[in-house]
Structure 1
Amino acid sequence: MQDFTAQRGPATPDEIWLLQHPPVYTLGLAGKPEHLLRSSDIPVVKIDRGGQITYHGPGQVVAYILLDLKRHGIGVKELVRRMEQAVIDLLATHGVAAERRDKAPGVYVNEAKIAALGLRIRNNCSYHGLCLNVDMDLSPYANINPCGYPGLEVTQTCDQGVSADADTLADALARHLQQQLGYTQPLI
Protein backbone atom coordinates (compact mmCIF):
# COMPACT_ATOMS: atom_id res chain seq x y z
CA MET A 1 0.00 0.00 0.00
CA GLN A 2 2.76 2.40 0.90
CA ASP A 3 4.67 1.69 -2.31
CA PHE A 4 1.52 1.86 -4.44
CA THR A 5 0.59 5.22 -2.88
CA ALA A 6 4.15 6.63 -3.13
CA GLN A 7 4.34 5.74 -6.82
CA ARG A 8 0.88 7.04 -7.77
CA GLY A 9 0.53 9.72 -10.39
CA PRO A 10 -2.51 11.79 -11.36
CA ALA A 11 -3.66 9.09 -13.81
CA THR A 12 -3.12 6.08 -11.52
CA PRO A 13 -6.43 4.24 -11.19
CA ASP A 14 -7.94 3.84 -7.73
CA GLU A 15 -8.05 0.32 -6.29
CA ILE A 16 -9.73 -1.66 -3.52
CA TRP A 17 -7.77 -4.61 -2.14
CA LEU A 18 -9.77 -7.32 -0.35
CA LEU A 19 -8.11 -9.86 1.92
CA GLN A 20 -8.03 -11.67 5.24
CA HIS A 21 -5.08 -11.46 7.62
CA PRO A 22 -3.59 -14.13 9.84
CA PRO A 23 -4.09 -13.27 13.53
CA VAL A 24 -2.45 -9.90 14.26
CA TYR A 25 -3.00 -6.83 16.41
CA THR A 26 -2.27 -3.55 14.67
CA LEU A 27 -1.42 -0.40 16.58
CA GLY A 28 -2.05 2.85 14.69
CA LEU A 29 -0.01 6.04 14.83
CA ALA A 30 -1.97 7.36 17.81
CA GLY A 31 -2.00 3.92 19.40
CA LYS A 32 -1.29 3.72 23.10
CA PRO A 33 0.42 0.53 24.28
CA GLU A 34 -1.78 0.45 27.39
CA HIS A 35 -4.74 -0.51 25.18
CA LEU A 36 -3.08 -3.92 24.86
CA LEU A 37 -4.41 -5.34 28.12
CA ARG A 38 -2.71 -8.74 28.00
CA SER A 39 0.06 -10.11 25.87
CA SER A 40 -0.50 -13.27 23.88
CA ASP A 41 1.20 -15.15 21.08
CA ILE A 42 -0.58 -12.88 18.58
CA PRO A 43 1.96 -10.39 17.20
CA VAL A 44 1.49 -6.63 17.65
CA VAL A 45 2.49 -4.59 14.60
CA LYS A 46 2.89 -0.81 14.66
CA ILE A 47 1.49 0.63 11.44
CA ASP A 48 1.06 4.04 9.88
CA ARG A 49 -2.74 4.33 9.88
CA GLY A 50 -4.82 6.47 12.18
CA GLY A 51 -6.51 5.03 15.21
CA GLN A 52 -5.62 2.88 18.15
CA ILE A 53 -5.33 -0.91 18.42
CA THR A 54 -7.48 -3.47 16.65
CA TYR A 55 -7.42 -7.15 15.84
CA HIS A 56 -7.37 -8.79 12.41
CA GLY A 57 -7.81 -12.48 11.75
CA PRO A 58 -9.30 -15.17 9.54
CA GLY A 59 -13.02 -14.69 8.98
CA GLN A 60 -12.72 -10.90 8.83
CA VAL A 61 -12.93 -9.02 5.53
CA VAL A 62 -10.29 -6.30 5.19
CA ALA A 63 -10.77 -3.73 2.43
CA TYR A 64 -7.84 -1.45 1.66
CA ILE A 65 -9.09 1.72 -0.07
CA LEU A 66 -6.43 3.17 -2.38
CA LEU A 67 -8.14 6.34 -3.53
CA ASP A 68 -7.15 9.73 -4.93
CA LEU A 69 -9.28 12.05 -2.79
CA LYS A 70 -8.41 15.12 -4.85
CA ARG A 71 -9.75 13.46 -8.00
CA HIS A 72 -13.00 12.72 -6.14
CA GLY A 73 -13.20 16.18 -4.63
CA ILE A 74 -13.69 14.81 -1.12
CA GLY A 75 -11.91 15.07 2.20
CA VAL A 76 -11.10 12.48 4.83
CA LYS A 77 -14.33 12.94 6.81
CA GLU A 78 -16.42 12.42 3.68
CA LEU A 79 -14.41 9.32 2.74
CA VAL A 80 -14.96 7.89 6.23
CA ARG A 81 -18.70 8.63 5.97
CA ARG A 82 -18.90 6.88 2.59
CA MET A 83 -16.98 3.85 3.85
CA GLU A 84 -19.28 3.58 6.86
CA GLN A 85 -22.33 3.96 4.61
CA ALA A 86 -21.13 1.15 2.36
CA VAL A 87 -21.04 -1.20 5.37
CA ILE A 88 -24.40 0.07 6.66
CA ASP A 89 -25.97 -0.50 3.22
CA LEU A 90 -24.41 -3.96 2.93
CA LEU A 91 -25.75 -5.01 6.32
CA ALA A 92 -29.20 -3.59 5.47
CA THR A 93 -29.42 -5.95 2.48
CA HIS A 94 -29.21 -8.77 5.05
CA GLY A 95 -31.80 -7.23 7.37
CA VAL A 96 -29.27 -5.91 9.91
CA ALA A 97 -29.78 -2.36 11.19
CA ALA A 98 -26.41 -0.67 11.68
CA GLU A 99 -25.28 2.86 12.46
CA ARG A 100 -22.29 5.16 12.68
CA ARG A 101 -21.34 7.22 15.73
CA ASP A 102 -20.03 10.75 16.06
CA LYS A 103 -16.36 10.84 17.07
CA ALA A 104 -16.06 7.03 17.01
CA PRO A 105 -15.44 5.92 13.41
CA GLY A 106 -16.80 2.53 12.47
CA VAL A 107 -20.11 0.76 12.18
CA TYR A 108 -22.14 -0.48 15.14
CA VAL A 109 -24.98 -2.97 15.64
CA ASN A 110 -26.82 -2.87 18.97
CA GLU A 111 -23.94 -0.97 20.65
CA ALA A 112 -21.31 -3.47 19.43
CA LYS A 113 -18.73 -2.66 16.77
CA ILE A 114 -18.97 -4.79 13.64
CA ALA A 115 -16.62 -2.78 11.38
CA ALA A 116 -13.56 -0.68 12.19
CA LEU A 117 -11.90 1.99 10.06
CA GLY A 118 -8.37 3.33 9.94
CA LEU A 119 -6.84 5.42 7.17
CA ARG A 120 -3.66 7.15 6.18
CA ILE A 121 -3.63 10.02 3.70
CA ARG A 122 -0.47 10.89 1.80
CA ASN A 123 -0.39 13.39 -1.07
CA ASN A 124 -4.21 13.45 -1.10
CA CYS A 125 -4.35 9.67 -1.54
CA SER A 126 -5.74 7.20 0.98
CA TYR A 127 -4.54 3.81 2.01
CA HIS A 128 -5.44 1.32 4.74
CA GLY A 129 -9.23 1.08 5.05
CA LEU A 130 -11.78 -0.94 6.96
CA CYS A 131 -12.42 -4.37 8.37
CA LEU A 132 -15.76 -6.16 8.70
CA ASN A 133 -16.11 -8.99 11.21
CA VAL A 134 -17.85 -11.88 9.46
CA ASP A 135 -17.26 -15.28 11.10
CA MET A 136 -14.15 -15.23 13.23
CA ASP A 137 -12.78 -16.03 16.65
CA LEU A 138 -13.65 -12.87 18.61
CA SER A 139 -11.78 -13.95 21.78
CA PRO A 140 -8.56 -12.01 20.87
CA TYR A 141 -10.55 -8.78 21.33
CA ALA A 142 -10.63 -9.56 25.08
CA ASN A 143 -6.90 -8.75 25.17
CA ILE A 144 -7.38 -5.16 23.96
CA ASN A 145 -9.48 -2.05 24.30
CA PRO A 146 -10.83 -2.23 20.74
CA CYS A 147 -10.05 1.03 18.92
CA GLY A 148 -8.98 2.45 22.29
CA TYR A 149 -12.43 2.13 23.93
CA PRO A 150 -12.41 0.19 27.22
CA GLY A 151 -15.24 -2.32 27.39
CA LEU A 152 -16.31 -1.87 23.77
CA GLU A 153 -18.12 -4.98 22.61
CA VAL A 154 -17.54 -6.38 19.15
CA THR A 155 -19.84 -8.48 17.02
CA GLN A 156 -19.82 -10.16 13.64
CA THR A 157 -22.23 -10.74 10.80
CA CYS A 158 -22.80 -14.44 11.60
CA ASP A 159 -23.97 -13.45 15.10
CA GLN A 160 -26.43 -11.03 13.50
CA GLY A 161 -28.11 -13.78 11.46
CA VAL A 162 -26.17 -13.24 8.22
CA SER A 163 -25.35 -16.60 6.63
CA ALA A 164 -23.13 -15.27 3.81
CA ASP A 165 -19.46 -16.23 4.07
CA ALA A 166 -16.47 -13.87 4.04
CA ASP A 167 -15.83 -14.18 0.29
CA THR A 168 -19.45 -13.42 -0.56
CA LEU A 169 -19.53 -10.44 1.79
CA ALA A 170 -16.18 -9.19 0.47
CA ASP A 171 -17.56 -9.08 -3.07
CA ALA A 172 -20.73 -7.34 -1.89
CA LEU A 173 -18.73 -4.87 0.21
CA ALA A 174 -16.60 -3.99 -2.81
CA ARG A 175 -19.74 -3.25 -4.82
CA HIS A 176 -21.15 -1.04 -2.05
CA LEU A 177 -17.83 0.81 -1.68
CA GLN A 178 -17.66 1.37 -5.43
CA GLN A 179 -21.22 2.69 -5.42
CA GLN A 180 -20.44 5.08 -2.55
CA LEU A 181 -17.35 6.30 -4.43
CA GLY A 182 -19.24 6.80 -7.69
CA TYR A 183 -17.63 3.99 -9.69
CA THR A 184 -19.46 1.83 -12.21
CA GLN A 185 -16.40 -0.27 -13.15
CA PRO A 186 -14.73 -2.66 -10.67
CA LEU A 187 -11.76 -1.33 -8.68
CA ILE A 188 -10.61 -4.73 -7.45
Structure 2
Amino acid sequence: MIQIREKGLQDYTTIWKEMVSFTNSRNAETPDEIWLLEHYSVFTQGLTGRSENLLEETDISVIQSDRGGQITYHAPGQLIVYCLIDIKRLGIGIKKMVSLIEQSIIDLLEEYSISTHKVSGAPGVYVDGSKIAALGLKVRHGRTYHGLSLNIDMDLSPYKLINPCGFRDLNVTQMSNLTDNTLKLSEIKKQLTRHLSNYVSRT
Protein backbone atom coordinates (compact mmCIF):
# COMPACT_ATOMS: atom_id res chain seq x y z
CA MET A 1 0.00 0.00 0.00
CA ILE A 2 1.49 3.32 -1.05
CA GLN A 3 1.39 6.09 1.55
CA ILE A 4 0.36 9.52 0.21
CA ARG A 5 1.87 12.49 2.04
CA GLU A 6 0.70 16.08 1.61
CA LYS A 7 3.69 18.36 2.20
CA GLY A 8 2.37 21.80 1.20
CA LEU A 9 4.72 24.59 0.07
CA GLN A 10 8.32 23.57 0.75
CA ASP A 11 11.88 24.78 0.49
CA TYR A 12 13.71 22.60 -2.05
CA THR A 13 16.78 21.77 0.04
CA THR A 14 14.73 20.93 3.12
CA ILE A 15 12.53 18.41 1.33
CA TRP A 16 15.51 16.98 -0.58
CA LYS A 17 17.23 16.19 2.74
CA GLU A 18 14.01 14.56 3.96
CA MET A 19 13.90 12.33 0.88
CA VAL A 20 17.52 11.26 1.34
CA SER A 21 16.93 10.52 5.03
CA PHE A 22 13.80 8.48 4.26
CA THR A 23 15.57 6.51 1.51
CA ASN A 24 18.64 5.78 3.64
CA SER A 25 16.60 4.63 6.64
CA ARG A 26 13.99 2.47 4.91
CA ASN A 27 14.19 -1.31 4.80
CA ALA A 28 12.68 -4.12 2.75
CA GLU A 29 9.33 -3.79 4.53
CA THR A 30 9.01 0.00 4.43
CA PRO A 31 5.90 1.03 2.46
CA ASP A 32 6.46 3.15 -0.62
CA GLU A 33 5.43 6.80 -0.39
CA ILE A 34 4.31 9.55 -2.75
CA TRP A 35 4.88 13.12 -1.58
CA LEU A 36 2.72 15.92 -2.98
CA LEU A 37 3.93 19.51 -2.68
CA GLU A 38 4.91 22.79 -4.28
CA HIS A 39 8.27 24.53 -4.10
CA TYR A 40 9.26 28.12 -3.59
CA SER A 41 10.81 29.64 -6.73
CA VAL A 42 14.07 27.82 -7.49
CA PHE A 43 16.18 26.47 -10.35
CA THR A 44 17.56 22.95 -9.86
CA GLN A 45 20.42 21.45 -11.82
CA GLY A 46 20.70 17.67 -12.25
CA LEU A 47 23.82 15.56 -11.90
CA THR A 48 24.80 15.95 -15.55
CA GLY A 49 23.66 19.57 -15.73
CA ARG A 50 25.80 22.08 -17.62
CA SER A 51 26.30 25.61 -16.38
CA GLU A 52 25.73 27.07 -19.85
CA ASN A 53 22.07 26.05 -19.62
CA LEU A 54 21.56 28.94 -17.21
CA LEU A 55 21.45 31.73 -19.78
CA GLU A 56 21.88 34.75 -17.55
CA GLU A 57 22.44 35.84 -13.97
CA THR A 58 19.35 35.70 -11.78
CA ASP A 59 18.29 36.39 -8.21
CA ILE A 60 16.53 33.02 -8.19
CA SER A 61 18.56 30.37 -6.34
CA VAL A 62 20.24 27.67 -8.43
CA ILE A 63 20.68 24.40 -6.52
CA GLN A 64 22.89 21.51 -7.61
CA SER A 65 20.72 18.44 -7.06
CA ASP A 66 21.51 14.72 -7.11
CA ARG A 67 18.63 13.83 -9.42
CA GLY A 68 19.03 12.91 -13.05
CA GLY A 69 18.57 15.41 -15.85
CA GLN A 70 19.51 19.00 -16.59
CA ILE A 71 18.23 22.33 -15.31
CA THR A 72 14.58 23.03 -14.60
CA TYR A 73 12.42 25.46 -12.65
CA HIS A 74 10.04 25.03 -9.72
CA ALA A 75 7.59 27.55 -8.28
CA PRO A 76 4.12 27.77 -6.71
CA GLY A 77 1.44 26.75 -9.18
CA GLN A 78 3.44 23.69 -10.22
CA LEU A 79 2.62 20.30 -8.71
CA ILE A 80 5.62 18.33 -7.46
CA VAL A 81 5.18 14.58 -7.00
CA TYR A 82 8.10 12.85 -5.33
CA CYS A 83 8.17 9.09 -5.84
CA LEU A 84 9.82 7.15 -3.01
CA ILE A 85 9.44 3.74 -4.56
CA ASP A 86 11.33 0.48 -3.99
CA ILE A 87 11.72 -0.53 -7.63
CA LYS A 88 13.97 -3.45 -6.69
CA ARG A 89 11.12 -4.90 -4.63
CA LEU A 90 8.76 -4.30 -7.54
CA GLY A 91 11.15 -6.05 -9.91
CA ILE A 92 11.34 -3.17 -12.39
CA GLY A 93 14.15 -0.97 -13.66
CA ILE A 94 14.47 2.79 -13.80
CA LYS A 95 13.30 2.99 -17.44
CA LYS A 96 10.06 1.21 -16.53
CA MET A 97 9.54 3.54 -13.56
CA VAL A 98 10.02 6.57 -15.78
CA SER A 99 7.51 5.14 -18.25
CA LEU A 100 4.93 4.58 -15.47
CA ILE A 101 5.28 8.18 -14.30
CA GLU A 102 4.99 9.56 -17.83
CA GLN A 103 1.90 7.45 -18.55
CA SER A 104 0.28 8.62 -15.31
CA ILE A 105 0.70 12.25 -16.39
CA ILE A 106 -0.61 11.48 -19.87
CA ASP A 107 -3.70 9.78 -18.38
CA LEU A 108 -4.33 12.75 -16.10
CA LEU A 109 -4.09 15.28 -18.92
CA GLU A 110 -6.46 13.22 -21.07
CA GLU A 111 -9.10 13.83 -18.38
CA TYR A 112 -8.77 17.54 -19.22
CA SER A 113 -8.88 16.88 -23.00
CA ILE A 114 -5.19 17.82 -23.32
CA SER A 115 -3.49 15.71 -26.00
CA THR A 116 0.10 14.86 -25.13
CA HIS A 117 3.09 13.01 -26.49
CA LYS A 118 6.53 11.82 -25.47
CA VAL A 119 9.84 12.78 -27.07
CA SER A 120 12.43 10.06 -27.64
CA GLY A 121 15.51 10.63 -25.51
CA ALA A 122 13.88 13.47 -23.56
CA PRO A 123 11.96 12.24 -20.49
CA GLY A 124 8.81 14.14 -19.63
CA VAL A 125 5.47 14.91 -21.24
CA TYR A 126 4.87 17.33 -24.11
CA VAL A 127 1.96 19.14 -25.78
CA ASP A 128 2.57 20.11 -29.42
CA GLY A 129 6.31 20.14 -28.78
CA SER A 130 6.08 22.23 -25.60
CA LYS A 131 7.01 20.66 -22.29
CA ILE A 132 4.32 20.50 -19.62
CA ALA A 133 5.89 18.00 -17.20
CA ALA A 134 9.52 17.36 -16.28
CA LEU A 135 10.93 14.22 -14.73
CA GLY A 136 14.10 13.40 -12.83
CA LEU A 137 14.82 10.50 -10.49
CA LYS A 138 17.64 9.28 -8.27
CA VAL A 139 18.05 5.59 -7.45
CA ARG A 140 19.84 4.50 -4.30
CA HIS A 141 19.97 0.83 -3.23
CA GLY A 142 17.16 0.04 -5.66
CA ARG A 143 14.88 2.79 -4.34
CA THR A 144 13.87 5.97 -6.12
CA TYR A 145 13.45 9.49 -4.87
CA HIS A 146 12.81 12.84 -6.57
CA GLY A 147 10.10 12.54 -9.24
CA LEU A 148 8.02 14.81 -11.47
CA SER A 149 6.86 18.38 -11.83
CA LEU A 150 3.62 19.26 -13.63
CA ASN A 151 2.96 22.86 -14.65
CA ILE A 152 -0.59 23.81 -13.68
CA ASP A 153 -0.97 27.58 -13.26
CA MET A 154 2.32 29.37 -12.60
CA ASP A 155 4.53 32.20 -13.79
CA LEU A 156 6.42 30.64 -16.70
CA SER A 157 8.67 33.64 -17.41
CA PRO A 158 11.71 32.30 -15.46
CA TYR A 159 11.95 29.45 -17.96
CA LYS A 160 13.25 32.06 -20.41
CA LEU A 161 16.40 32.27 -18.27
CA ILE A 162 17.33 28.64 -18.95
CA ASN A 163 17.49 25.96 -21.61
CA PRO A 164 14.75 23.84 -20.02
CA CYS A 165 16.04 20.34 -19.34
CA GLY A 166 19.09 21.26 -21.43
CA PHE A 167 17.21 21.86 -24.69
CA ARG A 168 17.74 25.17 -26.45
CA ASP A 169 14.56 26.96 -27.57
CA LEU A 170 12.30 24.42 -25.86
CA ASN A 171 8.93 25.99 -25.14
CA VAL A 172 7.22 25.30 -21.83
CA THR A 173 3.46 25.27 -21.29
CA GLN A 174 0.96 24.61 -18.49
CA MET A 175 -2.52 23.23 -17.95
CA SER A 176 -4.15 26.66 -17.47
CA ASN A 177 -3.11 27.62 -21.01
CA LEU A 178 -4.59 24.48 -22.53
CA THR A 179 -8.00 23.92 -20.97
CA ASP A 180 -11.08 25.89 -20.04
CA ASN A 181 -11.74 23.51 -17.17
CA THR A 182 -11.55 24.87 -13.66
CA LEU A 183 -8.25 23.67 -12.25
CA LYS A 184 -8.32 22.60 -8.62
CA LEU A 185 -4.97 21.52 -7.24
CA SER A 186 -6.66 19.19 -4.75
CA GLU A 187 -8.45 17.36 -7.58
CA ILE A 188 -5.37 17.15 -9.78
CA LYS A 189 -3.42 15.65 -6.89
CA LYS A 190 -6.08 12.96 -6.39
CA GLN A 191 -6.28 12.16 -10.10
CA LEU A 192 -2.55 11.93 -10.64
CA THR A 193 -1.83 9.90 -7.52
CA ARG A 194 -4.65 7.52 -8.45
CA HIS A 195 -3.12 6.86 -11.86
CA LEU A 196 0.42 6.55 -10.49
CA SER A 197 -0.58 4.31 -7.59
CA ASN A 198 -2.55 2.04 -9.90
CA TYR A 199 0.36 1.62 -12.30
CA VAL A 200 2.86 0.95 -9.54
CA SER A 201 0.49 -1.51 -7.80
CA ARG A 202 -0.05 -3.46 -11.03
CA THR A 203 3.64 -3.99 -11.81
The TM tier, using the shorter chain, reads over 0.9
Higher strand share: 2
Measured after TM superposition, the shift of residue 60 of structure 1 is 0.1
Aligned residues, how many?
183
Greater relative CO (CA pairs within 8 A, separation 6+): 1
C-alpha distance in 1 between matches for 2:31 and 2:168: 39
C-alpha distance in 2 between matches for 1:49 and 1:79: 14
Measured after TM superposition, the shift of residue 39 of structure 1 is 1.6
CA RMSD in angstroms, aligned pairs only: 0.9
1:53 to 71, 75, 92: 71
> Is 1:168 aligned with 2:187?
yes
1:70, 1:125 within 8 Å by CA — same for their partners in 2? yes
Measured after TM superposition, the shift of residue 100 of structure 1 is 1.3
Give the partner amino acid of 2:29: A
C-alpha distance in 2 between matches for 1:39 and 1:177: 37
TM-score, normalization by structure 2: 0.88
1:70, 1:124 within 8 Å by CA — same for their partners in 2? yes
Identical columns (%): 50
Structure 1: unaligned runs, 5 residues or longer: 184-188
| 1:130 matched residue in structure 2 | 148
TM-score, normalization by structure 1: 0.95
1:35, 1:145 within 8 Å by CA — same for their partners in 2? yes
| 2:139 matched residue in structure 1 | 121
Secondary structure of the corresponding residue to residue 39 of structure 2: coil
C-alpha distance in 2 between matches for 1:53 and 1:26: 6
Secondary structure of the corresponding residue to residue 181 of structure 1: helix
Secondary structure of the corresponding residue to residue 132 of structure 2: strand
Listed as ranges, the matches of 1:12-91 within 5 Å are 12-91=30-109
C-alpha distance in 1 between matches for 2:51 and 2:71: 8
| 1:142 matched residue in structure 2 | 160
Stretch of structure 1 that moved more, 37-46 or 137-146: 37-46
Structure 2: unaligned runs, 5 residues or longer: 1-18
